[in-house]
Chain A
């Protein structure tokens, strides 16, 4: 499912499990939320988190096989799908309220809900030589839930947002860099993972106060945070 490792001030969240595509189902989502909870509990000033994955995919979206496998009717499938959607909302909330900077080291393909997972992070690093970022919903004839739309509106601007969502573009690393979706691109899985951990370490060195950091992050994304039911908190003690 996923594992959490602490290396100095850096938390490394790794998407593991049998599935090559690291698709999101309730088990994986619960596992990630638990890991984030743990990171939050162990955090201090100057913590950071990087999410890594291995193989051809970072995350290829929600686990429709799971939905179809457990559902005995179309109605049940819809119920499971709704349940999955609500779990995803909780996942977004967990990331947005994590009191430390976060980096997604996107080692391969990332699609649909996987893009949502990547965008939950403050920064995205992608592979230059392989992998695309792709919101497949339009091609599949599936709508995009409101909370995901809010996330895109929060994090991505202008025509880029239109190109990803309304044009079904398959965006390679270099393109993502130019479009301002990715912070940096690197060659090879190791290149991306190393860059991710390096960036995490760099951000950790700033010794930001976690509570303040979350408040500033929330201030950047008021619409999204409103939808997630987040409220504003009182300031922590400033370094006056």
Chain B
């Protein structure tokens, strides 16, 4: 599960415990509730950092829960259910009225990678942990909105191909080189500190949250449409 903390104008969404932080309907509910709270308490200068304890940021959807359905069809249905539910998490992050940073101190795979990529910035470890879309190796297809996410967030066609079609496991340095993450640091502490530093830098700009969210959605029109977000016109510029 996750906890939500506030330190000054920084919100910390943390996956607690040393497990794989798999995503199931309960976790999704938990995430949505926290993100709702973050949105409600947002002010100019707010920033969200999403992080995790242990070896994993998140290893994706809870396939054990899916298989507990008892049949192949049941498992597929549960998996499809989670894929659909997760759209709301992406929508919530995409429309969050503040900058967002995914602070990765461990592996992020499949749904975990999607969660990370749904943030404005990713900071990860250089010495440990990988980004990995495991679907091709697990014989799972990629949902439409996930394709849109990768298409709109990662500009290079061959990087997208390597990540999705080749199941590339990217370590920190490679992820930086390929333009998938912002920066990579050695060690867990360094990543956490760098994330806070970045958050503070972004927070200093005191951006209007609503405007920020609209501009963000404008960067990702296909993704926004696919996760059910519309576009708003805003008044009140800071002239």
Contacts and interface: CB of A to CB of B under 8 A. Distances in A.
Contacts of B135: 212, 216
B157 interface: yes
B64 to A, nearest CB: 9
Using C-beta atoms within 8 Å of the partner chain, give the interface range for chain B. Answer: 20 to 34
A213 B167 CA distance: 11
A79 to B, nearest CB: 34
Interface residues of A, number: 27
Interface in B147-161: 147, 151, 155-158, 160-161
A136 B156 CA distance: 24
A76 to B, nearest CB: 38
Contact of B164 (A180, A220, A236, A238): A220
B138 interface: yes
A175 interface: no
Contact of A122 (B67, B147, B165): B165
B47 to A, nearest CB: 30
A237 B157 CA distance: 28
Interface stretch (A10-18, A140-148, A151-159): A151-159
A123 to B, nearest CB: 8
A175 to B, nearest CB: 15
A155 B67 CA distance: 36
A166 to B, nearest CB: 17
B40 interface: no
A72 interface: no
A156 B164 CA distance: 16
A238 B137 CA distance: 9
Contact of A239 (B139, B142, B158): B139
A206 interface: yes
Interface stretch (B15-23, B72-80, B94-102, B197-205): B72-80
A235 B151 CA distance: 21
Given A158-B155, A220-B147, A237-B72, A122 B138 contact: no
A219 B164 contact: yes
A188 interface: no
Contacts of B76: 235, 238
- Interface SS of A by simple majority: loop
Contact of A238 (B138, B151, B161): B138
Nearest to A236: B139
Contacts of A238: 76, 79, 138-140
A239 to B, nearest CB: 5
Contacts of B72: 237, 240
Nearest to B135: A216
Contact of B141 (A158, A181, A216, A222): A216
A217 interface: yes
Nearest to A203: B166
Contact of B157 (A154, A212, A215): A154
10 contacts: A156-B157, A158-B155, A158-B156, A208-B137, A216-B136, A219-B141, A219-B147, A220-B164, A235-B140, A240-B72
Interface of B: 63, 66-67, 72, 75-76, 79, 135-142, 144, 147, 151, 155-158, 160-161, 164-167
The 9 closest A-B pairs by CB, nearest first: A209-B139, A219-B147, A215-B141, A239-B139, A238-B140, A180-B158, A212-B139, A157-B157, A235-B141
